[in-house]
């Protein structure tokens, strides 16, 4: 049954229903409602909620829960996620399964409270020290966020890795009708520590060896092959293809529909996984493609780098790649259409 629910609350409830039983974190706008909701809800299902003294403490508590094989997660925004990177790197080193929710806000340093997509490069490149990446899921709606949080825990345990749900401030704060998943009965992972004196091994690779490096590479390649998720439309005849994710991806789809009604051969690619980046869908592009256009809620252009790299790998001919950046917020369909016209007229130049 559909119910109107706020994005952050929906994500928190979906995590509960997915079997998560440990949450530890520290409040920060615009993600705080996740923590506030769980402060009472987690107790009702027999789970553990901890408001830590800092973001660093929160991620390390989650590390402890993950090491015990319990579905564990945390949430934060901007600088809070930055502070968690050491813990995320350590969990990646120990092959621990957990979920990190980033409700992205705009700006460097402490930043602002505006909704944005300015954390793309950090999330898709690992974020902390070392040789790892996290799977990154990017919803365009509250319903999709709910569905992806369930998937996030499943992927984390499948690959013994950290999975990031990268939402946006606006998605966390808005309300939409949503169907909640059924409750799952999830058992503690058999490899988790249980308090008994044992020589049980948590990690899955032999440490500090070339064999470990080779195994890590193979796992990354396996994830890249198997876990690409994407929504796309009108690629067979599109002369221009827009690439956008999250809420800007949602408005971009609307702009493409309007452009097609006006007679323009436009198409769209909306990555649902930012990593692994959905490279395979680019193989479906029209041979007569005239340009790829990213639509991004940041100031400098970040998604465009993955689009350019993918075009280099997949497309034989040299295709112009344009980048429309809108700082923060959600670009309007009208604005995207107006800027597309500027691209057609040569007023906006390609960046790759």
For residues 154-169, give the mean pLDDT: 97
Report pLDDT for 246.
Answer: 98
pLDDT in tens, 293-306: 999 999 999 999 99
Strand partners, 23: 49, 73
Span 261-288, mean pLDDT? 97
- For residues 70-79, average pLDDT: 97
Residue 200: is its pLDDT beyond 80?
no
Instruction: Indicate if the alpha-carbon torsion angle 307, 309, 315, 321 is positive or negative.
Output: positive
pLDDT at 233: 98
Tell me whether the omega of the peptide bond preceding residue 170 falls within 30 degrees of 0, making it cis: no
CA dihedral (280, 224, 329, 327) positive or negative: negative
The pLDDT of residue 93 is above 70:
yes
Concatenating the DSSP letter of every residue in 282-329 gives GGGS-TT--EEEEEESSSS-SHHHHHHHHHHHH-SS---EEEEE-SSS
The beta strands (E) that lie in 26-77 are given as: 48-51, 72-76
CATH code 3.40.50.970 region(s) in the chain: 3-226
Q: What confidence category does residue 174 fall into, taking pLDDT thresholds of 50, 70 and 90?
A: very high
Mean pLDDT confidence for 126-133: 92
- Strand 266-271 and strand 240-243: pairing? parallel
pLDDT for the residue numbered 183? 96
Task: State yes or no: pLDDT of 196 exceeds 80.
Answer: no
- pLDDT confidence of residue 157: 97
Mean local confidence (pLDDT), 223-245: 98
What is the spatial distance between Cα 95 and Cα 191, in angstroms, rounded to a whole number? 11
Task: Say which DSSP state 209 is in.
Answer: S
Task: Decide if pLDDT at 199 tops 70.
Answer: no
CATH 3.40.50.920 domain extents, the chain: 231-344
Q: Is the pLDDT of residue 204 over 90?
A: no
Gyration radius (Cα) of the chain, Å: 20
Helical spans, DSSP H, in 45-187: 55-67, 78-83, 85-93, 120-124, 142-159, 169-173
In three-state secondary structure terms, 246 is helix
- Residue 201 confidence (pLDDT): 65
pLDDT beyond 70 at 97: yes
pLDDT value of residue 207: 66
SS3 category, 108: coil
The CATH architecture assigned to 3-226 reads: 3-Layer(aba) Sandwich (3.40)
Q: pLDDT category, 316, cuts 50, 70, 90?
A: confident
What does the buried/exposed string (b/e) look like for 40-79 if buried means 16 or more CB atoms within 10 Å of the residue's CB?
ebbeeeebebbebeebbbbbbbbbebbbbbbbbbbbbbbb
Q: Which residue has the tokens 């920060």?
A: 28
Q: Which tokens in the block code for residue 43?
A: 């107790």
Q: What is the DSSP letter of 57?
A: H
Measured between alpha carbons, how far is 52 from 222 in angstroms, rounded to an integer? 35
The reported pLDDT for the residue numbered 216 is 87
- What does CATH list as the number for 231-344? 3.40.50.920
> What integer best gives the mean pLDDT of the chain?
95
């Amino acid at each position: 049954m559909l119910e109107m629910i706020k994005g952050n609350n929906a994500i928190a409830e979906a995590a509960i229903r997915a079997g998560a039983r440990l949450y530890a974190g520290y409040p920060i706008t615009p993600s705080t409602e996740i923590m506030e909701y769980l402060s009472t809800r987690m107790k009702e299902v027999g789970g553990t909620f901890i408001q830590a003294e800092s973001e660093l403490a929160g991620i390390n508590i989650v590390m402890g829960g993950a090491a015990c094989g319990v579905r564990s997660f945390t949430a934060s925004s901007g600088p809070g996620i930055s502070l968690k990177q050491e813990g995320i790197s350590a969990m990646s080193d120990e092959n621990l399964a957990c979920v990190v929710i980033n409700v992205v806000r705009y700006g460097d340093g402490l930043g602002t409270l505006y909704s944005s997509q300015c954390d793309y490069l950090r999330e898709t490149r690992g974020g902390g020290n070392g040789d790892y990446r996290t799977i990154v899921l990017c919803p365009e709606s509250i319903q999709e966020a709910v569905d992806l949080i369930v998937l996030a825990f499943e992927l984390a345990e499948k690959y013994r890795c950290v999975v990031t749900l990268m939402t946006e401030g606006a998605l966390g704060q808005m309300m939409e009708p949503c169907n909640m998943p059924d409750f799952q009965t999830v058992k503690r992972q058999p490899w988790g520590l249980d308090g008994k004196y044992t020589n049980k091994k948590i990690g899955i690779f032999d440490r500090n060896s070339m064999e470990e490096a080779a195994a890590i590479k193979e796992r990354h390649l396996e994830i890249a092959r198997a876990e690409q998720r994407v929504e796309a439309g009108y690629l067979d005849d599109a002369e221009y293809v827009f690439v956008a994710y999250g809420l800007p991806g949602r408005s971009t789809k609307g702009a493409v529909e309007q452009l097609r009604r006006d007679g323009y051969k436009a198409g769209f690619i909306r990555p649902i996984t930012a990593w692994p980046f959905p490279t395979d869908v680019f193989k479906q592009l029209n041979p007569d493609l005239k340009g790829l256009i990213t639509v991004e809620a940041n100031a400098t252009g970040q998604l465009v780098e993955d689009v350019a790299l993918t075009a280099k790998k997949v497309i034989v001919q040299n295709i112009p790649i344009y980048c429309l950046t809108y700082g923060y917020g959600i670009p309007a369909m009208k604005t995207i259409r107006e800027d597309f016209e500027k691209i057609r007229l040569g007023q906006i130049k390609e960046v790759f």
